[in-house]
Amino acid sequence: MPKSSSRIIMLADCQSFYASVEKRAHPEYANKPLVVAGDPARRSGIILAACPLAKSYGVTTAERLGEALAKCPDLVVIRPRMEEYIRVSLQITEILQSYTDLVEPYSIDEQHLDVTGSLKLFGSPEDIARSIQQRVMQQTGVYIRVGISSSKVVSKMACDIFAKKNDTGIFTLPQEDLPSVLWPRPVHQMFMVGSRMTRHLYRMGIHTIGDLANTPLSKLTARWGVNGEVLWRIARGIDNSPVMPGTYTHQKGIGHQMTLPRDYHTWEEIKIVLLELSELVCQRSRSKGLMGSVVSVGCRGADFDMPTGFSRQMKISDPTNITDEVYKAACSLFLRHWDGFPIRSLGVSLTDLSPDTTYQLTWFDGREKKRELEKTTDDLKRKFGDTAIMRASSLMAAGQAKDRSHKIGGHYK
């Protein structure tokens, strides 16, 4: 257990989150291998979550649905319900907040807690972790694994490397135990080290987390600059960042990205999606009372083996949340940088945000009429749904607005 004078930081992780929510909703599948997957007829037909029983057949997250069915023909396939997963995630957040007000979401299924000031109320860190497990399981049907340490980065590794593998789902990793417990582990298991970085580290003779921790910092920074220092600090468990409940409340940018259902080859097809994305971005901006001064456009090529694409941005003359103005900038950026090859994903974003309560008035471009018109269409969509009013171009074969209206974050609601 961490020393009494240090912080007590936890990382609470939901096991097979989407699949667990669905098993709770469908008790008839309790003893069957179950996965949550996108529409198999589209590119999104991949495994988003697999229950432990499905994983025992070799089914893995992010593999194609067809590959999973080949491994386990009896697999129960559930289409994702993102609204429900968001609701359950917020429910779990409320449970965690009953132990401490210092709860910081890391993702939809992972959250950090600082329980340093809660020990006198709820007992030892392990007692709190067990209580969290019991309450979350009773109320949501989701099994929680908990890593415990004195920093966020070490609690994350305590959870991922150890708690997920033991019978209790709880593991405490004090800072002073890093050399004996964490450092012997393979370097690819360390937080923030992916397959490409692993290959680079192997070529440097670094095979364990301890090897990385004991590599001279100057050698790492000479190779990777500040990223080298980040890796070195993670290996040594150096992380003083606080658990901050408001980390994600400040809006830095508003964007939408879409994986296309097929390869788009022509500008006539692409510009339809660019308009739809620009409209989504501006609609969200208006709902938050924000405008942006920087428009960004990104795309990825259709060739998986030789990926192409770009991400570029441009400053516009005045902050805006008007669809036509963002669309015009997005088109200009895209045409300037597109290599003409087919694309499979497209994104538009608006950054350098400011409140829309103050803006430059102009006389000749009808901006005020456009603002009022778009506020009216926003009201109609809020009241009757996103498809209550659509642009005619979205009804063409390349349009995605109707299909996207049934989704959240690219997945079905």
| Catalytic residue chosen out of the listed positions 83, 84, 94, 110 | 110
- Asked if 37 and 84 touch (Cβ cutoff 8 Å), the reply is no
The DSSP secondary structure of 328-371, one letter per residue, reads: HHHHHHHHHH--SS-EEEEEEEEEEEEETTS----SSS-HHHHH
Distance CA 409, CA 260 (A): 13
Alpha helix segments (H runs only) across 98-151:
119-122, 125-140
The edge-to-edge listing of strands for the beta sheet with 76-78 is 47-50, 34-37, 76-78
Tokens linked to 148: 């415990």
Q: How many CB atoms lie within 10 A of CB 292?
A: 24
Alpha-carbon distance values, 196 to 188, 203, 216, 227 (Å): 10, 11, 21, 14
Among residues 269, 276, 250, 293, which one has the least CA distance to residue 348? Answer: 276
Residues 6+ apart with CB under 8 A from 413: 81, 82, 83, 406, 407
| Amino acid symbol at 344 | R
69: enclosing H helix or E strand:
helix 65-71
- Asked if 114 and 12 touch (Cβ cutoff 8 Å), the reply is no
Q: Is 403 annotated as a binding residue?
A: no
Q: Is 109 annotated as a binding residue?
A: yes
Reply yes or no on whether 110 is catalytic.
yes
Residue positions in the annotated binding site?
13, 109
Known binding residues for Mg(2+) are 13, 109
Q: Which residues belong to the active site?
A: 110
